Amino acid sequence: MRIADVFETITISFEVLGVIAMVVGFGIAVVLALRTLGRREGGRAAYLVLRSTIGASILLGLEVLVAADLIRTISSVPSLEEVAVLAVIVLIRTVLSMSLQIEIDGVVPWKRALLTSGGQLLAGSVSRETRATRAAQSTP
């Protein structure tokens, strides 16, 4: 097996992981929103949970897909046209990631005191849901 084949397999694996992160994140978002509705917190709270969790999962997936693009670039000898196409793809994904980050956080990334990745946002959503469930269970 050639080294180029190994890198291609790694790149495809990263791409699959990026898509899985988005699909699983969507499923988690739906479950968290339904649980929020089940606790009678209202439709607005469920919508906000759904929106922020879906945004976080898309952000995480995009970060993994950008990593796949970078691996593909450094593992091959691309032509000038391939580099230009890759640059446009990475630019689009980066702008989309920043837009999602601003939408989720409400501030531009460089004004946040602490950088937050898509994985951290998704974990934060799950953590908030767990705390809310425990609080609802402990209240008679």
pLDDT on residue 56: 86
pLDDT on residue 25: 94
pLDDT on residue 87: 83
79: left (phi over 0), alpha (psi -120 to 50) or beta: beta
**The two structure tokens encoding residue 123:** 């974990």
pLDDT on residue 114: 56
Q: Provide the residue-wise pLDDT of the chain in tens; the chain has 140 residues.
A: 788 788 889 999 999 999 999 999 999 999 999 999 988 888 888 998 898 899 889 888 988 988 888 888 777 776 788 778 778 888 887 888 788 778 777 777 666 645 556 667 777 778 888 888 888 888 76
CA 22 centroid distance within chain: 6
Distance CA 119, CA 107 (A): 18
Instruction: Tell me the residue type at 77.
Output: V
Contact assessment for residue 26 and residue 76, using Cβ atoms and an 8 Å cutoff: no
pLDDT on residue 30: 95
Residue 107 burial (CB count, 10 A) = 11
Instruction: Tell me the residue type at 38.
Output: G
Angle between helices 43-74 and 3-38 (to 10 degrees): 180
Contact assessment for residue 25 and residue 54, using Cβ atoms and an 8 Å cutoff: yes
**The two structure tokens encoding residue 64:** 């993994």
Question: What predicted TM-score, i.e. pTM, was given to this entire model?
Answer: 0.68
